[in-house]
Structure 1
């Protein structure tokens, strides 16, 4: 799997959040990734993210809700490009298997 190069020497240690979401095929387009990040719908290592350009690193934990399920992912690698789906799945590991969202009602 190709790793992201930085100025011709070494491997980059960060990548923009929106690019990671798109490269890892979590969203279909980069503009959707930007909207998801800027809407405050993502948490990166426990902190709410509201910037598409927030840096992600290997080992960061990303959590978000999509299609009525909560996904929690650990970033395993930073890609150099948007590759095929099989390659994209190797960029992260699923920590929580998409648990459904529930609403806690207070009244009986």
Structure 2
């Protein structure tokens, strides 16, 4: 049941790798992100979940609250613990910007410094 590229450990499907690296919770979620155009591979669009990746490839994911930039170190064998998954990639994601923590819709709904009402304000 192993794929031909999986035997030598050098190549792997991108949806499978995203799942093994614990970037997404399921392969179907990885497939839907790829279909939506939220994944780029080496600067080019990646629109097929069956696209193979290898060590040294750069993957960029555009998610709702943050963008992730990863460089593939190795193909995964299974979805293991976090420490094992972390060894599959180098994270090049820039630090989060304070203004980008909230989505544009959330920023428009909240005024600056407008938190929940405190006990003294009631």
TM-score between the two structures when normalised by the length of structure 2: 0.71
From the two aligned structures, give the one with the greater strand fraction: 1
Runs of 4+ displaced beyond 2 Å: 96-103
Aligned ranges 1:28-107 → 2 under 5 Å: 28-100=25-97
Q: Check conservation: 1:42, 1:49, Cα contact below 8 A.
A: yes
Structure 2 residue runs without a partner (length 5+): 105-122
Greater Rg, structure 1 or structure 2?
2
From the two aligned structures, give the one with the greater helix fraction: 2
Work out the number of aligned pairs and report it. Answer: 96
Structure 1 residue runs without a partner (length 5+): 104-108
Q: Does the residue aligned with 1:33 lie in a helix, a strand or coil?
A: helix
Specify which structure has the bigger relative contact order, considering alpha-carbon pairs within 8 angstroms and separated by 6 or more residues.
Answer: 1
Cα root mean square deviation, aligned: 2.0
